[in-house]
Amino acid sequence: MKSLLCIVVPIATLASSPAAARDYYFFNKPGVDRQVYLEDRLACDALAGGVARISPDTTAMNQQIWQNRNLTMGQSAAAAGIAGLLVGLMAGSENRRLQWQVERICLADKGYRRFEMDKAEWKTIEKTEDMAERIDKWFALASGATPQGKEMYE
């Protein structure tokens, strides 16, 4: 069975290139301070921004890089990073999914829960041109005592 997995999984992984389907949601931590909320979002955005080199292609490629006996560890890390940058140019949707996942993990770590919201409402907020006003809207959702909508998994 394991030999079957060795064949099926890599092929299936390499063959699949799902589009980055967008969920619509907001994060909530009742009563969170506005400054704390902004700092938390920035910190998690920074971690999500580190996503660059995982994709089906880079997973396989990283193995080759990390296991290349002709490279030192530092060179392997550098090569993996550069390779990720190249592949990242082609794997935008996969990276976006990972970035969203990093954001979810990071904010959950900081005590936020995630709730579904209406797509139209989400777009209305995102289209708010005044940045301060847009932040106010997201913060109102984030700090609300009784968030509306179905809670989503982390």
Partner 1 sequence: MTGMMRALLAAVLLTLAPPAGAKIKSADQMKTEKAYLLVQIEPVEFQMMGNNRLVTGVIFAPYDPVTKQTRENLLARRDPVAKDGKRRLYLIEVDPGTWVIAGTGGSDSQMGSADTSFSLGSYHFDVHAGELVDLGVFVPQREESDNPDTRMNTDNVLGMALFGASVEPVPNRLTIRPRGADDIVIPAWLAARPLVQPAFVYGGTFGNNLGGLVNRIDGKAGRGRTAGAAAYLSKPGQPAVEVPSSGPAMKPASAPASAEPPATPSSLP
Q: Which residues bind partner 1 (CB under 8 A)?
A: 1-2, 4-5, 8-13, 15-18, 46-54, 56-57, 59-63, 65-84, 86-87, 89-90, 97-98, 101-102, 105-106, 108-111, 153-154
The residue assigned the tokens 């971690």 is 47
51 or 141: whose CB is closer to partner 1? Answer: 51
Give me the count of residues in the chain.
Answer: 154
Report, in Å, the least distance between residue 31 CB and partner 1: 12
Report, in Å, the least distance between residue 64 CB and partner 1: 9
Give the Å distances, CA to CA, from 69 to 64, 65, 74, 75.
9, 9, 12, 11
How far apart are alpha carbons 28 and 116 in whole angstroms?
A: 11
Q: What is the DSSP letter of 145?
A: S
Q: What is the DSSP letter of 72?
A: -
Report, in Å, the least distance between residue 129 CB and partner 1: 31
74 or 130: whose CB is closer to partner 1? Answer: 74
Report, in Å, the least distance between residue 28 CB and partner 1: 13
